[in-house]
Amino acid sequence: MIEAQVLPTPTGPLALLSHEGLVVAAGFTADPHQMFLRLPPRLQAYGLRRVEDLGHPAQAVRDYLDGELTALDGVALTQPGTPTRQRLLTALREVPAGTTIGYAELAERAGLPRTAARAAGAACAQNLIAPFVPCHRILPSAGGFGGYYYGTPVKQWLLTHEKALAQTSVL
């Protein structure tokens, strides 16, 4: 069974989905079913049920919101993807709170050429576990916030919460 919990955050509700102790999806929505539908069919086959408390992942979110910006880093998670996408997601998870990088740099950190910036962007766009896999910390080299699945205001709030906005030169 996929278990789901919705937590309040200053930028709106955050749905967390977990299976066998691993976070498999997280996103800024009040409806965990929206996140459930983005899961691969093999996980959807388990079904979805809401629970009161997912334990460690939920506490990590509360700690993150209380200012412990590394709290999400230790949460166990899994999401599908090719070996290249997995390398990009691993590199993405290693971008520390309070910093931002561009898509080309993310590609380099994953062992790919800078010209793989589009692949890095695609990995961010398909990320199922925001903000645990912090795609909000990736900004376009042309400036601005770029896209974000949950909207630019959520991305801006996360970066402000992490105090990354004052440290970036791309805005």
Work out the number of other CB atoms within 10 angstroms of the CB of residue 156: 16
Enumerate the domain spans of the chain.
2-66, 83-155
pLDDT at position 147: 80
Element containing residue 152 per DSSP (H, E): helix 152-161
The interaxial angle of helices 83-93 and 117-125, nearest 10 deg, is 80
Q: Would you state the structure tokens that stand for residue 3, as one six-digit string?
A: 């278990």
pLDDT reported for residue 166: 55
Q: 10: which 2 tokens? A: 């200053």
What pLDDT, on the 0 to 100 scale, is given for residue 153? 93
**Mean pLDDT, consecutive 10-residue segments, the chain of 171 residues?**
97 97 97 96 97 97 96 95 94 95 96 94 94 94 83 93 65 43
pTM here is 0.90
Residue range 83-155 in CATH 1.10.10.10: yes
